[in-house]
Structures are given as C-alpha cells and as structure tokens.
Amino acid sequence: MYDDLTLENFMAGLKKRNPNEPEFHQAVHEVAESVIPFILENPRYQQAGIIERMTEPDRTIIFRVVWEDDEGNIRVNRGFRVQFNNAIGPYKGGLRFHPSVNLSILKFLGFEQTFKNSLTTLPMGAGKGGADFNPRGKSDREVMRFCQSFMTELVHHIGPNTDVPAGDIGVGAREISYMFGQYKRLAHEFTGVLTGKALEFGGSLIRTEATGYGNAYFMEEMLKHHGDSTKGKTCVVSGSGNVATYCVQKITQLGGKVVTMSDSDGFIHDADGIDEEKLAWIIDLKTKRRGRIAEYAEKYGCDYHEGKRPWGVPCDLAYPCATQNELDGDDARALVANGCKAVSEGANMPTTLEGVEVLLENKLLYGPGKAANAGGVAVSGLEMTQNSIRMAWTSAELEQKLCDIMVNIHAQCAKHGYQDGYTNYVRGANIAGFIKVADAMLAYGVI
Ligand code: NDP
Ligand code: 2IT
C-alpha cells in the first residue's frame, strides 16, 4: 500500500515488479490515471490496497503445447491462462491464438477484462489466455490437433463455475468447437465451459454478432446523447475478422456508410460503401476461404493500400476493430484534421496513450474498448445463463438484451465521466468498472 499514492510512484512500482511488459503497463496506466484521483477521494480503497491487488493477477498458468503438423514434424508452442480477478464471478474472457501472444499482452487483456465485465452488470470475473500459435496457413487438421493438445492442459484449470474461456483473435467457431469437443471428452461432462459455441451444442444466438453489433450500438448511443446519430455518416473501420464484420453490418443497418476494412497486410477503400452483399462476400472470404482483404479490391474494383492503416481516409466516425495499438498519435491527429467526430473501439486497446490524449484534447466522443466492445462478453454471459437454465432465447430477445446492456454501459460511463460540458468516457468506464469490483474485494476482507 502506498501512503503517497500518485500515478508516478504507483507506475514506477508496477513497472519494477513487471519488467518488459509494455502493453500491461499501458493498460494499467490508462486506468490508474482516472482511478487514482477517485481512490484519493475515497480513502477506504487506498487503505485496503485495492489498486495494488487489482493489478496483480490471482494466478498465471503457462504451459507447453506439443502437436504434430501434417508433415509429421513435432511443433512446440506456449499456452497461457491468466486468471486475473474473480471477485464478482468466475474468471471469464477470451483465448487468443496469434504469434505475438506473450504474457504482457495477455495481462493487459485480462486486466481490461476486469473492468469490462464489471460494466456489463453480469456476474463475471476476468481472465484471458491463448497461445503463440499462428492458425494462418495451417490445415483444419493441424488446427484440430493444436486445439486438442491445448485443451488437454487447460482442462485442469477451467470449469463452468471456475473459469469460462471464449474466442478472441485467431479463435472463432472452428477452434471453440475443437476445444469444446476435447474438454467434453476429458472431463466426462457436458457443461457450458466455453462460450461462443455453435448453436447445436449450447451456443447462443447473437454471440457471433455481439461484439461488433454492441460497438455500433455504443457509438449510436454516444451520438444520440449528443443529439446526433449514425445515419448518413461516412465510417472508417479497421479489421475484417469477427468484430469488424458485424460492426460493419450494424453500422449499415443504422444508416451509416462504411468505406474501409483491413487486415494485417493493408486496407481497402471502397468509396461506394461496403453494402450487405459485399460484406457477405468478405465473411465468406475470411471464415471459409481464409483469404486476404486485397482480394476484395480486385473483385469490386476499388483501391487497396498495402501495408497501411485506414485512419487517413476522411470520415465522420471511426471504429478500430483489429488489434492493440493500431491507432497512434499521428493517426488520431489525421482523424481530427479530417473532421472525424467520434471513435468507438471494437478492439481491445487499439489506441496508444498518445492517441487517446489527442482524441480527448480535441473533445471527440471516444468510447474505449472496455466499454464499447463489452457486448461480446455480455452475450457470453447470457450464453452461460442459457446453459445453466437449459434453455435458448430467441435472436430478438437476445438482441434486445444486448442493446439494453450497451445503453446501460453508456449511462454508467456518462454518469462517472461527465465534467465541464464534456463526457470523458475513459474516466467514466474506468471508475464505473472499478467500483463494483473494488466493493466486492473490500467486503471479502484481506484476501
Ligand atoms: P479475428 O481473428 O476474427 O480478426 C482479427 C482481425 O484483426 C483480422 O482482420 C486480422 O488480420 C486483424 N489483425 C490481427 N492482428 C493484427 C495486427 N497485428 N495488425 C493488423 N491487423 C491485425 O479477431 P476478432 O475480430 O475477434 O478480434 C479483433 C479485436 O477485437 C481484438 O482486439 C480482440 O481482442 C477484440 N475483441 C474481440 C471480441 C470477440 O468477441 N471476438 C470481444 C471484444 C474484443 P489478419 O487476418 O491479417 O491477421
Ligand atoms: O475481449 C473480449 O471481451 C473477448 N474476447 C470476449 C470474451 C468472452 O468471454 O466472450
């Protein structure tokens, strides 16, 4: 516990205890900047060392994952599960398979998940996991063998009331199915231990769409709160995976025109707009043929910008939906210079600290990922509920619940983030997310 709790000495201590973890430092810095002043006004949190406890995961599991490729070579990857905080429910959060995965990235994601899950109002703690495995270019059988080997260790650490993983980058319906099949076989039971399952075996309607839809709803709610709407706006989206594609679908349904999408090789710029039919082609490209976004430019005859990100394209609204730190200070300045009014994050921590500063200084409406992309985990929570009561709700019921949750998250952020005529959604999300978890931790005593 710090007697002299300042952002500087808190961050110095955190960096010393967690060296070489820049993404984790960044995620904590963003929260600590808004939460420390709130803690100083509410000394019970300081006396109990809540921020120090919240930044230390409950436990971190790291394991070897061995599998055999199609040529018979033995491959070794590193698997992780960071069980960050279960003060308000079982650990809950996605699994990421990407070559960049390391402890720093999973700790940043697990830490952010604590606040995000709290904001949903559902009883979910926070965790994150994954592996440095790259599904790109692998056959279905290789992905299956990897997923089975990964689950053979993970099974010891998860359970429907302990820890309930889901998808994230590189983990979609195919990977969840392979992992669920292996869990069921090893645990000798059929329970809702993973979310994002297929509909045939306990999945929830709307889960696939939930993160992207939720992000578009969050943007709509920020705009509505300021007397505006998505209708008629030119929108720039990054990514072309699960979150990006369904974000584009809902933006279009709300009357916006999306002119860009991207992958890790570059972005397409379609000034006519990516309509429902073109989006269906992209979903097929990405989930079935597993191709590159450049193929869209050939198919529909629009521009493709190799190795570039879309933030220089003039727009009213921006939706980063690919990965962390994909929008930096210069990108934020380009958005501001082009008259962009609002940014809503489908991805986790897509904006650098400098980028956030630029957006806030210029008073853009800025929805941070932990609020704006919480729709995915919220519908995961609803999948857990449906599994527990052994019932399935309809699409219409679930979309209404998702929409209500996003409106409620917006209201919590607005309540805690409004100051001097401007709603700072970063502060709002951090403080609102913090209070529920902190109060639970206070109630438990010193554990
Ligand atoms: P997918 O794997 O479905 O798609 C990821 C997309 O981002 C792809 O277009 C991918 O391109 C691109 N991308 C990934 N890494 C990079 C990189 N290093 N540089 C540039 N582009 C990159 O993942 P999701 O759509 O599920 O996840 C996207 C973001 O949303 C992540 O930040 C994730 O944490 C977050 N999120 C996801 C939720 C979910 O429910 N799935 C919930 C809440 C947040 P390529 O194919 O070339 O790799
Ligand atoms: O970052 C996230 O919230 C997710 N990847 C979804 C987590 C979940 O448990 O649905």
305: Cβ contacts below 8 Å, ≥ 6 apart:
266, 267, 268, 269
Q: Closest Cα to atom 1, ligand 2: which residue?
A: 94
| Confidence band, pLDDT 50/70/90 cuts, at residue 342 | very high
| Domain 59-189 architecture | 3-Layer(aba) Sandwich (3.40)
Exposed/middle/buried for 308, CB within 10 Å: 0-12, 13-18, 19+? middle
94 lines ligand 2 (CB under 6 A): yes
pLDDT in tens, 291-340: 999 999 999 999 999 999 999 999 999 999 999 999 999 999 999 999 99
CATH 1.10.230.10 assigned to domain 208-363? The reply is: no
Query: CA-to-CA distance for 352 and 360, rounded, in angstroms?
Result: 12
Rounded to the nearest angstrom, the distance between the alpha carbon of 231 and the centre of ligand 1 is 26
Tell me whether domains 59-189 and 208-363 share a fold: yes
Cα–Cα distance list, 65 to 75, 77, 148, 150, 366 (Å):
8, 5, 9, 6, 39
pLDDT in tens, 66-110: 999 999 999 999 999 999 999 999 999 999 999 999 999 999 999
Hey, where are the domains in the chain? Answer: 59-189, 208-363
Ligand nearest to the CA of 291: 1
pLDDT in tens, 383-419: 999 999 999 999 999 999 999 999 999 999 999 999 9
Q: Quick one: average pLDDT of 263-273?
A: 98
Q: Pick left, alpha or beta for residue 62 (phi over 0 → left; psi -120 to 50 → alpha; otherwise beta).
A: beta
Is pLDDT at 427 greater than 70 in this prediction? Answer: yes
Q: Which of 109, 113, 171 to mutate to test the pocket of ligand 2 (most atoms within 8 A of CB)?
A: 113
Q: Quick one: average pLDDT of 7-19?
A: 98
Among 90, 209, 71, which Cα is nearest to 145's?
Answer: 71
Ligand nearest to the CA of 95: 2
Query: CA-to-CA distance for 340 and 73, rounded, in angstroms?
Result: 50
pLDDT in tens, 119-142: 999 999 999 999 999 999 999 999
| 128 catalytic residue (yes or no) | yes
Q: Quick one: average pLDDT of 41-69?
A: 98
Tokens of 77: 């990857």
DSSP of 401-421: HHHHHHHHHHHHHHHHHEETT
Q: Quick one: average pLDDT of 279-285?
A: 98
